[in-house]
Amino acid sequence: MDGSRIDGVRRVRAAKGNAPSKNCRIGLRALRIGDCSIGKALVFFNPQSAIRNPQSIARALPMKNARYILFWCLVAVVGLFVQFIVTKWATETEKDPDLAETVVFAPVQYPEIAARFTPEGLKAHIDALSAIPSRQTGTPGCDAALEYIRSQFRALGVGEPVVQEFPATVPVHDVAEARTPQGTFTLHPLHPNGVCPAATPKEGIKTRLIYAGSGSLAEVEGKELDGATAVVETGAREQWLYLIDLGARAIIFVERERPPRYIGMTTQTMSHQDVPRFWMTKAEGAPLIALLKSQDLEATLYSDARWERRTGKNIHVDIPGLSAKEHNKDEVVVLSAYYDSSSFVPDLAPGAEQACGIAALLELGKLIAEHRFQKCVRLLAVSGHFQAIEGARRYAWDNVARHTSPMRDVSPQGHAAFFGLDLSSGGPRVGLFYAGNYFSQFENNVKPRVSDLGRRATQYVNEIATALDLSPDELFVDTINPAFGKEWFTYAPTGLALDHEAALIAGVPSLSFVTVNDSRFFAATPNDTEVNAENLARQVRLLACLLPNAFNVEGRYLKRSMQRVACRVTGRVVSFDPKEGYLPNKPVPNAVVTARGMWDQMILTGVMARPVTLADDKGEFEIPCLGYNAEALYQMGWLAFEPYVVEDGHITWAPDFGQMGRESYPTRLLPVQKEMELMCVAFPCKTLDLFNLVDPRNYNLLNSLDVLEAASNSPPAVYGTTLQESAWPSFMAPTASIFTQPGKRLKIT
């Protein structure tokens, strides 16, 4: 066989000198094996010529190459078919034929069951809990609420409640006041700016109190703000930032009217400004404002606000089931609600709206104790809900996620299902939710598996509505199988962090019952003291009729197991000391470590979205039950873990972004497996706070910040920054902080 070079490709000539085929070109590829070279023929087609002369294909192609191409065509077809089947299998709804539902109540019994749940009975629990000034996790008020719940669980007569303890990092204080020649005024520290609590040096802050009205520039015109403390009324909203920019040292907010929840969001930033901010109730602030309207007052502010590691407590009691089947003996169905409270003024958090869920749990527990489920029902009351759902994450991690369960087990560690109660009183309808805003797990991995649970609930709701002479649309919304194309988030006008999300990423079939179309306008405020008990009673009546029928089963709740994507992050906070070694290895004790996501969220209806933990004396810390980045939309991309040491409200150590810090030891982590470790490098620093970072040309927030050494125009060897990036929250403070070594001259662009 001879050949000729045409366009760099050797074309085949027949042995008898025939012209080369235009349909077949052979390229030679050498494959070296030891000292040998083997030539391999590769066939390429010229489609235009093949169309003109289709008979030439058979002559040009050797038989083995035709079989080779046919084989891979068949492989491609089979692959597409398999992909179609897998996609259909993964997205179609599922039903377990062995569900074995047990109907406890007949339709004629629904009116009698519903009548047992009265507004007065629910409000009695809410009044008892909201009478406690604050139920913030780890405080005496939270412990008092725990004892109330313990007594209610004991009254069920099914056994002694079990308490699970866990560490929780929360802002606390013992003293906060303004001392003036005219008297001492009580202050209430606001929630920290990022990690900076509303604290003063031990000797206090010597200042002048000036009245700033609603905080507008016109109301402070002609007043000396440098070093002063501005006393503003709650209508100020974010205007207090302009007063700080003009030199004010601290801010005191005085309640003028019942403050809605969004006021709390505008009284803080997430970029760690050292600006003490305090709250006074209307009664506390009236005498002070009366004095300030006539003259400024010399004063000294004192506050020992700080972060502390306290003990959070979950409590549960098990109501034994009736089933004699072997697999039901070790399985539980968890019915959960949180009992702690939250406010942008931590020590003024009555949390009446926030007590609706636990009130419903206590009343439903009485019914379940009387009419038993087939499976054991665990009534679970969690705290730490408003600290990045810490209590639910700790329960899910300690009881499920940290253990190893068979991959096909639909009830990992004996947890057959988890149902959360996140109820409020702003509306009469309750919805069945499969997702929330905290982890926002991808719906394609959750929705198909739980779709049948939603449809079954809807069927029973139709029966219940008929028996109670109501319309189903007035009672219930199935957000798993949306009607009219409305997804679950369209029924939640405010961001919701749901406790069932923690159990869901641990692999437990989990759903939440949530009050729909309720903005919870006054929740998480110092004046959360009123509820519409009739609206709440209507929701609880539906749940009382629904749960013992629709979710009382002997079989499995799901056919296929859920994704298990829970991750625990452990780490150390260290510093680099060249006198002690070539690597950062010196522990930084008692650092406050925060975790923020790529799409950072600030507050979800009172829930602080960023996990915060306090490192121990060795600089070690852990944050359990975070979601894999591939499954949890909120954490998609990375999580940044940043350590700070805060003393008297000042940041004295900050994360190092320089050469021996983040550049060599990244603090951004992609959670991709069950256990993850990292090292966070910090350095002693001075802080520069920046305000009013707005582009005056288009009024956009500045979302990039470059720090350079003034002499060399290069990044400093040691430095750190924070910048509040534009994201989803409705209010973004135009602020930033820069951390640098003392004495450094910097250029900021």
Crossing angle (nearest 10°) for helices 119-130 and 356-370? 130
Local structure of 173: helix, strand or coil: coil
Whether 558 maps to a domain, the answer reads: no
State whether 29 and 127 are in the same domain: no
Nearest CA-CA partner of 610 in 727, 689, 720, 721: 727
State whether 134 and 193 are in the same domain: no
Report the C-alpha gap between 598 and 637 in whole angstroms: 6
State whether 589 and 656 are in the same domain: yes
Nearest CA-CA partner of 401 in 569, 167, 629, 595: 569
State whether 580 and 506 are in the same domain: no
- Angle, CA 112 vertex, CA 111 and CA 113 arms, to 5°: 95
Which of the listed residues 274, 304, 334 is the one where a domain comes to its end?
304
Whether 743 maps to a domain, the answer reads: yes
Low-confidence ranges of the chain (pLDDT < 50): 1-54, 57-58, 60-61, 90-91, 97, 636, 725-730
- For 494, the domain range is 107-167+312-550
Structure-block tokens of residue 431: 């919805």
Nearest CA-CA partner of 553 in 479, 477, 421, 452: 452
Q: CB neighbours of 452 closer than 8 A, spacing ≥ 6?
A: 93, 94, 95, 96
Q: Is the dihedral of CA 268, 270, 276, 278 positive or negative?
A: positive
How is residue 192 annotated by DSSP? Answer: P
State whether 483 and 407 are in the same domain: yes
State whether 485 and 538 are in the same domain: yes
DSSP calls for 39-89: EEEEEEE-HHHHHH-THHHHHHS-HHHHHHHHHHHHHHHHHHHHHHHHHHH
State whether 594 and 616 are in the same domain: yes
Residue 663 CA: distances (Å) to CA of 304, 667, 715, 741: 35, 9, 11, 17
Q: What is the pLDDT of residue 265?
A: 78
Local structure of 405: helix, strand or coil: coil
DSSP calls for 135-166: --TTSHHHHHHHHHHHHHHHTT-S---EEEEE
Residue 478 CA: distances (Å) to CA of 113, 262, 289, 452, 484: 22, 28, 51, 11, 12
How many residues would you count in the chain? 749
Whether 78 maps to a domain, the answer reads: no
Whether 692 maps to a domain, the answer reads: yes
8 A C-beta contact, residue 215 and residue 239: yes
CA 522 to chain centre: 21
State whether 238 and 322 are in the same domain: no
Whether 283 maps to a domain, the answer reads: yes
State whether 502 and 371 are in the same domain: yes
Local structure of 300: helix, strand or coil: strand
Q: CB neighbours of 277 closer than 8 A, spacing ≥ 6?
A: 189, 190, 193, 198, 240, 250, 251, 252, 253, 267, 268
Q: How many domains does the chain have?
A: 4
Q: CB neighbours of 11 closer than 8 A, spacing ≥ 6?
A: 3, 4, 20, 21, 25, 26
Residue 392 is inside which H or E element, if any?
Answer: helix 390-396
8 A C-beta contact, residue 382 and residue 422: no
Q: CB neighbours of 717 closer than 8 A, spacing ≥ 6?
A: 658, 659, 660
One-letter amino acid at 389 equals I
Which of the listed residues 256, 279, 304 is the one where a domain comes to its end?
304
Report the C-alpha gap between 97 and 452 in whole angstroms: 11
Structure-block tokens of residue 630: 């591939």
**pLDDT by residue (tens digit) across 510-533?**
999 999 999 998 999 999 999 999
Task: State the CATH number of the domain containing residue 512.
Answer: 3.40.630.10
Q: What is the pLDDT of residue 518?
A: 94
Structure-block tokens of residue 533: 């008990």
User: Which ranges in 249-375 belong to alpha helices (H)?
Assistant: 261-265, 282-292, 326-329, 356-370
Q: What is the pLDDT of residue 576?
A: 92
Which of the listed residues 261, 278, 304 is the one where a domain comes to its end?
304
8 A C-beta contact, residue 590 and residue 615: yes
State whether 538 and 579 are in the same domain: no
Q: What is the pLDDT of residue 86?
A: 61
Local structure of 27: helix, strand or coil: strand
Whether 673 maps to a domain, the answer reads: yes
**pLDDT by residue (tens digit) across 385-432?**
999 999 999 999 999 999 988 878 888 999 999 999 999 999 999 999
State whether 214 and 112 are in the same domain: no
Whether 642 maps to a domain, the answer reads: yes
State whether 188 and 140 are in the same domain: no
Q: What is the pLDDT of residue 732?
A: 66
In this prediction the pTM is: 0.85
Beta strand 229-233 pairing with 250-254: parallel
Beta strands in 545-672 (DSSP E): 566-575, 586-587, 592-597, 603-604, 607-608, 612-614, 620-627, 639-647, 650-655, 668-669
Q: What radius of gyration, in Å, describes the C-alpha atoms of the chain?
A: 32
Report the C-alpha gap between 13 and 8 in whole angstroms: 15
Q: CB neighbours of 701 closer than 8 A, spacing ≥ 6?
A: 693, 694, 695, 724, 726, 732, 734
Q: Rounded to the nearest 5°, which phi and psi values hold at 138?
A: 85, 0
8 A C-beta contact, residue 560 and residue 567: no
Whether 575 maps to a domain, the answer reads: yes
Nearest CA-CA partner of 131 in 606, 445, 528, 397: 528
CA 405 to chain centre: 25
